[in-house]
Chains A and B, each alone.
Chain A
Amino acid sequence: MKISELIDLPLIKLNLESKSKDQVIKELSNILLENKCISDLKLFIEDVHEREALGSTGIGFKIAIPHTKSKYVTKPSLVFGKSVNGIDYESLDGDPAELFFLIAMPEAGSNKHLQALALLSRNLIHEEFREQLLKAKTKEKVIKILKTIDQT
């Protein structure tokens, strides 16, 4: 399984409009609904919040990675969003998050998908990788950067 099988151009938004954590979770989840990756927006969002309640997925480094294994996921997917001004995501370092990855996994997710996401998580720890994503101006460029994960 490759990361490029979980994300495609329609699942990328480079100018998120949200101003708060709740709003951005909704904005990203809406993209999943529009692309028929989830069956119920409201209940999916509840599942995302349930994970956040265990501890914010705003890990610092300007990154937030809300994620859930939910029965409302019909297609394993990854949404990427970018906020130019940053959004307060109750991050561990207190700084606003600018890069958002919403990970939607079905309850019985296969290990192949999880392997790709584990690699994404590992790459996000690297500053050069984050810098490239922060600088990316087009969706195509984002896909190109994410595809480098598949080559590792």
Chain B
Amino acid sequence: MFKLIAVTACPTGIAHTYMAAEMLEITASEFSVQIIIETNGAMGTEHKLKKTDIDSCDAIIIAADIKIEMKRFIGKPLIEVSVTEAIRNPKKLIQDAMDGLYKIYQD
């Protein structure tokens, strides 16, 4: 099964972070894709990605309007979008991931 991981984050960390996470989860299940999502919100970081999650994933979606810790993703196929993009166009994000259109992340 295709394995995705994602990080969602927004400035206030009250609403968009969780909407984007929910949208990616629903869409991933429609595509029968596995997804693990780290949310960086006002409650702090939840479901923090483990090194094994990162090592074993096929692609990474960063849907964030604030800075997040990126070094851990070096060498993995990754896309960076705004948090609203994940809410509006989740299907394209996931389809592009499966089609291998993400670039390898470099520092």
**A binding-site residues for B, Cβ under 8 Å:** 51, 54-55, 57, 59-60, 65, 67-69, 92-93, 103, 105, 109, 111, 114-115, 117-122, 124-126
Contacts and interface: CB of A to CB of B under 8 A. Distances in A.
A92 B16 contact: no
A67 B41 CA distance: 14
Secondary structure type dominating chain A contacts: mixed
17 contacts: A55-B11, A59-B87, A65-B15, A69-B42, A109-B42, A114-B13, A115-B43, A117-B14, A117-B15, A118-B39, A121-B16, A121-B18, A121-B22, A125-B19, A125-B22, A125-B26, A125-B87
Contact of A125 (B17, B23, B43, B82): B23
Nearest to B15: A121
A51 to B, nearest CB: 6
Interface residues of B, number: 22
Contact of A67 (B12, B65, B84): B12
